[in-house]
Chain A
Amino acid sequence: MRQGESVLQRKITLGDLLDTESFTEVVKGFVELYRVGIKVFDDKGSKLADIKIGNGDFCGYVFSFPEGRRRCTATVGRVKDGPVALSHGARLPVVESDLEPMAKGMVTVSCFTGLRYLILPIRWEGDVLGRVVFGPFLPEDLKDFPPASLTEIADGLDVGNSRALVEKVRRAPESTIARVMLHFGQLLQTMLFAGQKMFLTTQLHIEATLEQNRDLEERNRKLEDANVRLKELDRMKSAFLATVSHELRTPLTSIIGYSEMLAEGLAGALNDEQVDYVRTIMEKGETLLKLISSILDISQIEAGKVRLNFEPMDAQELVSSSVSSVKPQATKKGVSLEAKMPSTMPQVLGDRDRLRQVVVNLLANAVKFTPKGGKVSATLTEVMHQPDLNAPGYRIIIEDSGVGIAADQFDKIFQSFYQVDSSSTREYGGAGIGLAIVKSFVEGHGGVVRVASEVGHGSRFTLILPVTPSLQTQVQITPPVTALQVPVDDRF
């Protein structure tokens, strides 16, 4: 779930809102302009800015006496850590009447030396985030310098020297320093507002980015889970198909076998009509067996159970034997069928049985979709570098002058159980799995299948196969599934 608390829930500190470096610059400017020292503390007493002016020599001199050091430390402690309230020796400042509302909370603290400090709380959204201290300054209203509280600290205090040193401290009416201080307070409020804006938006930007990241990771995880589930379902489906196909094939083989025995008169002579019927049973049985075999093939491919067996083989023999096996169908249909071979052909590596199945399948398809008088050819090319594979390879091209395939169908025809014409009254039979098998077997060899066709002008299937296939596993891409949403009723 969510990680930690947002900056919006947290209490903000003065340090969060002020950029120390640029703030110090502003304070420095103020100090130089008005010649009075400024210190800024947060509510824990940590210093955010401390610029002194004029009082160093005088305070240093007083500090050199043990009693002076003690009283000085007490005054500084009062100013820095004491309450910003009318207690512990603090009193209301002298301010001009027009500034009174703004000066709410400001207090004056006198030093034993006669110098003075003004303290202003830094209010922010109802909280006090810290304080500003102005001083020490030499108040205009101080008539007698040095006061008794200073001279009494040591007998050896040099009054003349004290007077000379205190001259470097800014002398001004308390109300003037108060006015400058309120002016500074206003500027500080503006800086805090700008700082808050910057701070919150930067922090929130970071938080939002992290939150988005978390979101994406969550979604990825869900997708991965869905993917694993889908793959498992897919595997189960294929396993089921394989089992069913096997269970269908076994009894079917018996049906064909016994029909054959009947047709050959092994169980006694049959009359012509009976022979005719039994042969029909045999033929339809064969057709059904082929279909079941294809389904078994594709389901085994999808279940990942097919292992190709690469051995040295003769590609010329592969093509010519495939052509021979389709020849009877072609002749029967009145389609011419020819094989074109290269002058020389070295041995190649491949799974002969699977590749033969591929070529026979494509040739049978070509014959099936080519009308009487048409042409079908199988061409084997020489071994040469194949850019598609970036390796030496050869091509087997099956071309026909048949009905052709529309360009938008090129991808789909390689999907399992896809038919270009899937209407119930379609002209051509079949289960639509032949090309899916072709593609799987060729890709299993590390090859590719290309199709080029124009409706009414025939088709050309090109198998590009490497001379030396490398074993590759097929990558299955499962479609993403949207996660389940908890339904909420419409409120509006």
Chain B
Amino acid sequence: MEVTVQLNHAQRELTVKIVYYGPGLSGKTTNLQMIHQRTLPEVRGRLLTVETHDDRTLFFDLLPVFFSTASGFKVKVKLFTVPGQVIHNATRRIVLQGADAVAFIADSRRSAAPENNAYWKNLVENMRENGLDPAQVPVVIQYNKRDLPDTKTDAEIEETRKKGKEPVVGAIAIRGVGVLETLFSVLQVAYRNIDERAGLSKNIGLTEREFLTQVFNNIDTSGTELEKVFPPRKGQGSATS
């Protein structure tokens, strides 16, 4: 298997790639927009997005988040979305290259199940095509649009959770609900994935705790489940408006 970790000892730099995957209109771009809104400008770049005239993602969205560790290592987290429309499969495959973890954004509505399944299969196929072992790339599932009618019940989602090892998070991305929780979960599995292969804590002294703290200390967590763990700084609440 190809080594996807971009750990550059010479430049003391680590790049972590997270890809938001899923069917068209499931809310991938919305997730990134919400993260962008709540993240301090000092640690993030602008949200790069290229859309068609009907607001559909044409190539990808990109939100970079960066910080330096206590030991002076530069860490860049790149959040990507893929285009959801069926015809853009080639682009999806390119964006997926070298992903350290994937957030799979599913639509909770019952009627969307076939499409969710189709894109899940597409994800597995594209990982294989890219030379990634699907068993080695951690995935977090977000059940988005929990507020719409005809969505799966919590009990049904619990059933889904049991079908695999992936963490499952409920969300209403458009209102920011579950977005940071999903980000936390996907960054956690990404860290563990990289740590296992590149020994982050051993080799560069970057612990999971520091990795997550460096990111979430610069994100306004107010009103989310992460608020207690990473309390928002004073004056940060305004970022949500």
With beta carbons under 8 angstroms apart, the residue of A5, A197, A489 that contacts B97 is A5
State whether the Cβ of B76 lies closer than 8 Å to any Cβ in chain A. Answer: yes
Residue of A nearest to B160 (CB): A492
In the complex with contacts A2-B131, A126-B64, A492-B160, A204-B120 CB distance below 8 A:
no
Task: Give B90-114 as 1s and 0s: 1 = Cβ < 8 Å from A's Cβ atoms.
Answer: 1101110110000000100000010
**B131–A124 CB distance below 8 A:** no
Across-interface contacts of A267 in B (CB, < 8 A): none
Q: Which residues of A contact B160 (CB under 8 A)?
A: 491-492
Q: Is A305 an interface residue (CB 8 A)?
A: no
Which of the segments A168-176, A205-213, A219-227, A431-439 contacts the partner chain? A205-213
Whether A201 pairs with B59 at a CB distance below 8 angstroms is: yes
Instruction: Give the number of chain B interface residues (Cβ < 8 Å).
Output: 41
Residues of A within 8 A of B91 (CB): 204, 208, 211
Q: Is B7 in the interface zone, CB < 8 Å from A?
A: no
Q: Mark B141-162, 1 if CB is under 8 A from A, else 0.
A: 1000000000000000000100
Chain B residues, Cβ within 8 Å of A207 = 94
Cβ-defined contact, B80 with A201, below 8 A: no
> What residues of chain B lie closer than 8 Å to A486, measured between beta carbons?
125
Partner of A9, one of B62, B98, B124: B98
Counting residue pairs across A and B whose Cβ atoms lie within 8 Å, the total is 88
Q: A266 on the interface (CB 8 Å rule)?
A: no
* Residue A6 is within 8 A (CB to CB) of chain B in the complex: yes
Q: Does B130 contact A (CB under 8 A)?
A: yes
Q: B45 touching A125 by the CB < 8 A rule?
A: yes
Convert A377-405 into 0s and 1s, putting 1 for each residue whose CB lies closer than 8 angstroms to a CB of B: 00000000000000000000000000000
Do B90 and A193 touch across chains, with their CB atoms under 8 A apart?
no
Which of B59, B66, B116 is close to A204, meaning CB atoms less than 8 Å apart?
B59
Would you list which residues of chain B between 159 and 195 have a CB under 8 Å from chain A? 160, 163-164
Chain A residues within 8 Å of B62, by CB: 8, 200
Which of A1, A205, A207, A492 counts the most B-chain CB atoms under 10 A from its CB? A492
Q: Is B56 an interface residue (CB 8 A)?
A: no
Q: How far is the CA of A447 from the CA of B62 in the complex (A)?
A: 63
Interface, chain B (partner A; CB < 8 A)? 6, 17, 43, 45-46, 48, 50, 58-60, 62, 64, 66-67, 74, 76, 80, 88-91, 93-95, 97-98, 106, 113, 116-117, 120-121, 124-125, 129-131, 141, 160, 163-164
Cross-chain pairs A/B with CB under 8 angstroms, 17 sampled: A6-B97, A9-B97, A125-B64, A125-B76, A196-B48, A204-B91, A205-B59, A208-B91, A208-B94, A211-B90, A211-B94, A488-B125, A489-B163, A490-B113, A490-B120, A491-B117, A491-B163
12 other A-B residue contacts (CB within 8 Å) besides A126-B64, A208-B94 = A6-B95, A8-B95, A8-B97, A9-B6, A9-B17, A9-B97, A125-B64, A126-B66, A197-B50, A208-B59, A211-B90, A492-B106
